[in-house]
Amino acid sequence: MALDSTSRLQTLLHLLQYTGLSVAIIVIWQGLFHLGLLNPVLLPAPSQIALAFWDLIKSGDLPRHIGISVLRVLEGFGIAAVLGLGLGTAIGLSRTLDRWTDLIIQVIKPIPPIAWIPLAILWFGIGEQSKVYIIFLGAFFPIIINTIDGIRQTDHKFVEVARILAVPRFKFVRQVVVPGALPAIMTGLRVGLMVAWMCVVAAELIAASSGIGYLIMDARQLSQSDVVIVGMITIGVIGKLMDSLIKRLESRLIRWKVAFAGN
């Protein structure tokens, strides 16, 4: 019994640690507003933001914009994941293919997806395609680079075991190389999804008539800073949810790995 109540106390303490800072910031923020220290146009109070949030949900605008942005991310990220995993595996396995592709990957990788926006608009117009293209570019490189790295990290000791046992190449790739690369691949997918989510907002900020980025840009023109902040917080929360989802998938796929959890 004593043990049970201690562990419940522990859980409560951890919950407090997890949420404490966010709650404190909101409380101080609201307090500053009541003391008259904040200009509501420049930085509206949390209560105003909550109200704006509620209005946007009631009118259905926020869910609609979220839906559109998420759909764009899923399309761009999906294409990036398929191509990144496929090409990454192929390049990771073949030194020749690596030599053919390394330079072009290394040069295109540092170009921010945002810098592609002018070309994307010229090529695809301001419709869905240009956004999906930008998102694809953002997600593709983290995925392909991590996949190549993961494949390359195959333990040489297992290569020797496979040689001794004359294991066919395909079986070796399927049973050793790919599962061994999975932690790196999952990292690539996580980073890729994060970048994709950031890219959709960036693309929508510049040229769009819908989506979370558009919502923010539209509100800016109308000086609705509360709506701007609602949009920003929505981006953050959805990004966090996506990350948690991939993390959960990761821990399900990689049961054998006993990760260092910090102290």
- Check if the beta carbon of residue 81 is closer than 8 Å to that of residue 189: yes
Q: Shortest CA distance to 102 belongs to which of 93, 110, 91? A: 91
For the bound state, the minimum distance from the C-beta of residue 247 to another protein, rounded and expressed in Å, comes to: 18
For the bound state, the minimum distance from the C-beta of residue 181 to another protein, rounded and expressed in Å, comes to: 11
3-state secondary structure 20-53: HHHHHHHHHHHHHHHCCCCCCCCCCCHHHHHHHH
Using the CB atoms, write b or e for 159-177: b if 16+ within 10 Å. Answer: eeebeeeebeeeebbeebb
Of residues 37 and 164, the one with the C-beta less far from another protein = 164
CA separation, residue 127 to residues 7, 118, 132, 215, 231 (Å): 54, 13, 9, 16, 21
Q: How far apart are CA 128 and CA 121, in angstroms?
A: 10
Q: Shortest CA distance to 102 belongs to which of 150, 145, 147? A: 145
Of residues 68 and 185, the one with the C-beta less far from another protein = 185
For the bound state, the minimum distance from the C-beta of residue 180 to another protein, rounded and expressed in Å, comes to: 8
For the bound state, the minimum distance from the C-beta of residue 147 to another protein, rounded and expressed in Å, comes to: 17
For the bound state, the minimum distance from the C-beta of residue 92 to another protein, rounded and expressed in Å, comes to: 18
Of residues 165 and 222, the one with the C-beta less far from another protein = 165
Of residues 8 and 257, the one with the C-beta less far from another protein = 257
Interface residues with another protein (CB under 8 A) are: 157-158, 160-168, 171, 175-176, 179-180, 254-258
For the bound state, the minimum distance from the C-beta of residue 170 to another protein, rounded and expressed in Å, comes to: 10
Per-residue tokens: 63: 């869910």
Of residues 27 and 161, the one with the C-beta less far from another protein = 161
For 133, list phi and psi in degrees, rounded to 5.
-65, -45
Q: How far apart are CA 188 and CA 178, in angstroms?
A: 14
Of residues 102 and 160, the one with the C-beta less far from another protein = 160
